[in-house]
Structure 1
Amino acid sequence: MSFLLKKIVHNEAMKSDPKEIYGWRVYLLACSACCGGMLFGMDSGIIGGVLTMDPFQKKYGLYNKPADDTANLNANIVSTLQAGCFAGALAASPVSDRWGRRPALLISAALAIVGTVMQAAASGKLAVMYIGRFITGVGVGAASMVNPLYVSENAPRAIRGGLTGLYQFFIVSGIMLAFWINYGSLLHIRGTAMYVVPLALQALPAVLLFIGMYLCNESPRWLAKQDRWEESKATLCKVRALPENHPYIEEEFRDIKIQLDNERELIGGSGIWDLQREMWTIPGNRKRAIITIILMICQQMTGTNAINYYAPQIFQNLGVVGNATNLFATGVYGIVKTVACGVFLVFVADSLGRRRSLLWTSVAQALAMLYIGLYVRIAPPEEGKPVPAAGYVALVCIFLFAAAFQFGWGPVCWIYVSEIPTARLRSLNVAFGAATQWLFNFVVARAVPSMLVTMGSNGYGTYIFFAVFCFSMGVFVWFFIPETKGLSLEKMDELFGVSTVVSPKAYDPERGSIQKSDQEKNETGATSTTIERV
């Protein structure tokens, strides 16, 4: 495994790392946690197809209604999940900080299972459907916040991007499975079971997440934050598959201890208001928080979830007729996303880097969306007529957009926001990022049905709107996003201009803290001094 990785991943950190740390254990841990991503993917992918099924429309009063009324009801059903996700992402931060990353993921899985059961059993009652999707959303949102955090805190630095990006791979895998579950249900199931079976299958990844996290360890960095140093080191040794006295373990554990002590000297309190003050009053921390929020806004404003949620309707607008054909095209779209994301994680994530991935995919996504918008505006598809050659190019652009998103703005945003925060603020920072992502996910899910109806013929203005946003995102990355490839989590403070003047020689391994001599205290002050480089 180590030899293969060194051939694929061009990363300086791997040259000095022991091969044992790239064993099966760290990959199994990441995959177990990333079932939370599959949960989100299946929830978002299944609902789009279910909304187009005749038995569902008849059962929930959507059949033969005016286009505006149907669009509003569809938007309400879809976006209720995002409302729950927003609440779950914010609530997960204090839970994961107080009780741990692992218990937070277990709770997320349990909530998602309960909400999924309610959706499948709603039987035409919109109120029950809304409540079930909201509860599922709380579980999905909490998992989306804790999952990248948990994986990044366990991952070796050289492959942290790939392992954290697995979250996005599991999302698109869930979307792909959802699309084909919908297609199979449409072909082979009749009656209300046609939509009940897909809704019930949303619980599968939640069950896998619960079982996987029950068998996994807690994050060694979270244990260190709780001053459970022996457990932290034992867990680190287990995850890295190295003995306690190995130089790599000693170095990584020493970096964890030094950073935590530096942070505690910088601001002694650990309450929510202390952390908020630390995040927003120190320029380097504030810069990271703002970058996190903007990246997550941009991720949603690419328009990717407009396609995920409403792919059948979008394919119909491009001239693809028939519900079965639409769902088949949607299934192919899911395959493209999954394959592209897998290629990115294996060959690109820790080689090309975060910054360049975001830059080139911004342009690629914008060009794909712009062509679709111009095609729908200039030569809109006509009912009863075959799709012209330009229309097939537009369909290809949908698939090219999906592939480009998986090479940049899909996985890289989750990688970046989970690795740049300082240790004390990592949970809070990722919570802000996840909550922002879900808030704008909600905005997109709620707005797109109306946009497709009102923004020009066949909604051409919708695609142009997202194209303009994609171009502007590239400008933002060019000026404000530094590269983090190959850096340890403990080096992020230095990259963003926040460090503490502490001599590494003053570290006391017995006490797990930094001891300063009288001379050092006179030179640096009674407490640590913060250096701002931004």
Structure 2
Amino acid sequence: MTFLQRIIRNDTVKSDPPEIYNFRVVLISLSACGASMLFGFDMGVIGGVLTMNSFKEQYGLKGKEDTVLANLESNIVSVIQAGSFLGALVSTYVANAIGRRLSLILSALILFVGVAMQAGASGIIGVLYAGRQVNRSLQSLSLANVVYRFIGGVSIGIASSVCPIYIAENAPRGIRGLLTGFYQLTLVFGLTVLQLAFWINYGCERHLTGKEQFIIPLSLQAFPAVILLVGMLFANESPRYLAMKRPERAPRVLATLRGLPEDHSYVIEELNNLRRQLEEESQHSESSMWCLLKESFSKKSYRRRSILCITLMMWSNMTGTNAMTYYSPTIFASVGLASSSVGLFATGIYGIIKFIACGIFIVFVSDTLGRRRSLLWTGIVQGIMLFYVGFYVRFDTISENAPITPQGYIALIAIYLFAAVYQFGWGPVVWSYCAEIPPARLRALNMGMATASQWFFNFVVAKSTPTMFATLGKNGYGTYFVYGSFCFVMVIYTWYFVPETKGLSLEFMDELFERDTVRGKFMPARDVHYLADRQIRSPVGRCDEEKLGAEGHW
């Protein structure tokens, strides 16, 4: 029994050959997750940079009205979301045309270009938004830097869409939740440890002066791209993509990935199921982009999965977690931590808690507790935490020089609990779920739509949150009520629309969504066990049509 089989407790892992849960598949997944660090590093950097006095002085942000300042800051933050939205839209074509692996390599190279241009222009990225009177050459320079940040966003959009697909298509079914959860874990990693993101901001403000305080953090965004590029140069292409485009290579790559010989029954059955699914899908539609898009919404089970991918990414953002990340120093100031340095330090602790919680979840919980249950209970807890913080900010008296009250410390704990609980549900689970439920031929398209949704609502949150803090009551207390209400609404959505997928192979998702109905509220436990039992009896879930006809009513 391998180490992964010891820590992941589900029936699928117990029944599969131990060789498939090997170090190679874990290493490939971690290498691909350099893609999420591209986004994670930027999220961690920009929120702290905006609070630095050197940054505000450089761009004339000091002394402006709160609403004007909020609008300027939201513009600076949201440029990269616009580029990422475009990158997510084109990722479908790129991933299907050149493959998952080459798409990730391309995204790393694009980011190198954006960061190099930004660093070469001395890090001036925000003058366009600062409202200062400058000469024409400096205006052109600032506009160029906005373009460079937009280019970086395109890279992140492609990578964030393709990475979960690549991992899901390489992963054995029993640990797919664990491996796709690495995406969220490395995103958080990019925010927190080893002097990245938050801690770089903190160190630069404490030990540097002038423009170098923010130029260095912004320039170091190339570091995650190095990890992604080097890792993908030595990785294999997705076996499922090869089965679609280069079928002669698929058996060898899959056998190597699973640690089994090509003639092993597990490898043969997995390939047969994959080929059968691709043949069935190819008989119904052409493969042009328009036909794939039409197919995604014409068949009931396909339409339901497409809508789920889009809406789950929307709900993930509407928890307010990215508002907490982008503007965390501002949020900590609203509960009594007014000092810039103290706020950055509290933000660093916030990131560490997210990283530890995410690691615990994906290793010990994700493939044991399941997707649906994780989303339900975490949504409830997040809503409660945000409502408490909102009530505290509304009714307590917060003074810049006064010590924090006991209620204030509870509010800080609530913010940290919010961060930890998010990593047990609406962070890693959503990426795993959206990568695993689409059909093989529609997976790149569905994930592209999901990631575009993620970036669109990320943009909405980044653009609207500063204004909400400036306009929704004292210290923006209404902001917490808005995001807390969304948390409770998405619990109701999950209860009625999200079936469990734990332990099912990718080829069994069609059957699940054909049978599971909204009217039934959720997939009955007996049917979860029924599908799992059928998978166990066959190495990778071969369908037994006669038994299905006799027993398979839902």
- Distance of aligned partners of 1:122 and 1:309 in 2 relative to their CA distance in 1, 3 Å threshold: farther
Q: Which runs of 5+ in 2 are unaligned?
A: 128-141, 517-551
Alignment of 1:194-343 (within 5 A): 194-226=213-245, 228-267=246-285, 269-343=286-360
Please say if 1:400 is aligned against 2:417: yes
Counterpart for residue 138 of structure 1: 154
Please say if 1:369 is aligned against 2:386: yes
Deviation at 1:498, TM superposition (A): 7.8
8 A contact 1:344–1:406 mirrored in 2:
yes
8 A contact 2:435–2:447 mirrored in 1:
yes
Counterpart for residue 95 of structure 2: 96
Please say if 1:463 is aligned against 2:462: no
Partner Cα distance (1:337, 1:115) in 2:
28
Partner Cα distance (2:9, 2:311) in 1:
29
What amino acid sits opposite 1:182 in the alignment? N
What amino acid sits opposite 1:198 in the alignment? P
Counterpart for residue 64 of structure 1: 63
Counterpart for residue 18 of structure 2: 19
Match among 420, 441, 451 for residue 434 of structure 1 = 451
Partner Cα distance (2:343, 2:307) in 1:
39
Partner Cα distance (2:119, 2:218) in 1:
5
Give SS of 1:229's match: coil
Q: Write out per-residue CA displacement over residues 200-230 of structure 1, whole angstroms, 9 at most, x where no aligned residue.
A: 111100111111111111111001111x222
What amino acid sits opposite 1:401 in the alignment? F
8 A contact 2:2–2:21 mirrored in 1:
no
Match among 492, 497, 503 for residue 514 of structure 2 = 497
Partner Cα distance (2:274, 2:85) in 1:
31
Q: Write out per-residue CA displacement over residues 415-457 of structure 1, whole angstroms, 9 at most, x where no aligned residue.
A: 0000000111000000000000000000000000010000000
Counterpart for residue 49 of structure 1: 48
Q: Write out per-residue CA displacement over residues 481-534 of structure 1, whole angstroms, 9 at most, x where no aligned residue.
A: 1000000000000001089xxxxxxxxxxxxxxxxxxxxxxxxxxxxxxxx999
Alignment of 1:403-422 (within 5 A): 403-422=420-439
Q: Write out per-residue CA displacement over residues 278-335 of structure 1, whole angstroms, 9 at most, x where no aligned residue.
A: 1111000000011111101100000000011001111111110211111000000000
8 A contact 1:496–1:533 mirrored in 2:
no
8 A contact 2:390–2:480 mirrored in 1:
yes
Please say if 1:127 is aligned against 2:143: yes
TM-score normalised per structure 1: 0.91
Counterpart for residue 81 of structure 1: 80
Partner Cα distance (1:380, 1:153) in 2:
53
Counterpart for residue 172 of structure 1: 188
Partner Cα distance (1:249, 1:108) in 2:
31
TM-score normalised per structure 2: 0.88
8 A contact 2:5–2:18 mirrored in 1:
no
Deviation at 1:21, TM superposition (A): 1.1
Partner Cα distance (1:335, 1:455) in 2:
29
Partner Cα distance (2:171, 2:443) in 1:
15
Partner Cα distance (1:54, 1:326) in 2:
13
Deviation at 1:196, TM superposition (A): 0.9
Partner Cα distance (2:468, 2:120) in 1:
31
Partner Cα distance (2:307, 2:247) in 1:
32
Please say if 1:148 is aligned against 2:127: no
Q: Which deviates more, 285-294 or 60-69?
A: 60-69
Counterpart for residue 201 of structure 2: 182
What amino acid sits opposite 1:47 in the alignment? I
Partner Cα distance (1:455, 1:258) in 2:
55
Deviation at 1:61, TM superposition (A): 2.3
Give SS of 1:497's match: helix
CA RMSD of aligned residues (A): 1.6
What amino acid sits opposite 1:146 in the alignment? V
Partner Cα distance (2:429, 2:328) in 1:
23
Give SS of 1:191's match: coil
Q: Which deviates more, 187-196 or 308-317?
A: 187-196
8 A contact 1:148–1:164 mirrored in 2:
yes
Deviation at 1:8, TM superposition (A): 1.8
8 A contact 1:285–1:498 mirrored in 2:
no
How many residues align? The count is 500
Deviation at 1:114, TM superposition (A): 1.7
Deviation at 1:6, TM superposition (A): 2.5
Partner Cα distance (2:553, 2:166) in 1:
29
Match among 357, 361, 367 for residue 350 of structure 1 = 367
Counterpart for residue 519 of structure 1: none
8 A contact 2:320–2:483 mirrored in 1:
yes
What amino acid sits opposite 2:115 in the alignment? T
Q: Which deviates more, 427-436 or 57-66?
A: 57-66
Q: Which deviates more, 310-319 or 52-61?
A: 52-61
Give SS of 1:400's match: helix
What amino acid sits opposite 1:367 in the alignment? I
Partner Cα distance (2:101, 2:247) in 1:
18
Counterpart for residue 4 of structure 1: 3
What amino acid sits opposite 2:271 in the alignment? F
Counterpart for residue 525 of structure 2: none
What amino acid sits opposite 1:485 in the alignment? K
Q: Which deviates more, 355-364 or 9-18?
A: 9-18
Partner Cα distance (1:23, 1:6) in 2:
10
Partner Cα distance (2:427, 2:264) in 1:
36
8 A contact 2:5–2:21 mirrored in 1:
no
Partner Cα distance (1:248, 1:300) in 2:
39
Partner Cα distance (1:39, 1:135) in 2:
13
Give SS of 1:329's match: helix
8 A contact 1:380–1:457 mirrored in 2:
no
Deviation at 1:380, TM superposition (A): 3.8
Please say if 1:445 is aligned against 2:457: no
Partner Cα distance (1:187, 1:170) in 2:
26
Give SS of 1:244's match: coil
Match among 154, 159, 166 for residue 175 of structure 2 = 159
Q: Which runs of 5+ in 1 are unaligned?
A: 500-531
- Distance of aligned partners of 1:121 and 1:310 in 2 relative to their CA distance in 1, 3 Å threshold: farther
